[in-house]
Amino acid sequence: MHRTHSKFSLVTLAARRAREINSYFNQLGEGLGTMVPPQVSSTSRKPLSISFEEIAADKIVGVEMADYEAIEAELDAEMLNEAADEVVAALDEPTAEAESVTVDETPAVDEAPATEENA
């Protein structure tokens, strides 16, 4: 309990980490390697028990939501800038398709039959 300022934040931290551990175990066969594995060796197979053991071993530390949101916003901005740079670079590169397209620039003419009223 001394690792967080309330029981609620302890349970919230453990639940979030348990979800991450569960996602890690679910993606093992896919070879993605994007999730952080459990940080302690445990005899328990339940993600929530493992997350409490990690918290007790000081392997997982709670971060205030304001700090977390600021870090997340900064990372989102970086990712957005990188994506925008890639789009701009892709637009600047001439493609083979664009060079091979020809445009017929002859104006369209109305071919209405000539009548006495039109003449």
pLDDT value for 105: 64
| Per-domain boundaries in the chain | 1-62, 63-93
Whole-angstrom Cα distance, residue 84 to residue 92?
Answer: 12
* Alpha helices, H only, the chain: 7-26, 47-56, 65-92, 96-100
What is the full per-residue pLDDT of the chain (119 aa) written as tens digits?
Answer: 566 778 888 888 889 889 988 888 888 777 666 777 787 888 888 888 888 888 888 888 776 667 767 778 888 888 888 888 888 888 887 765 555 555 566 666 556 566 665 55
Model confidence, pTM:
0.48
pLDDT value for 2: 64
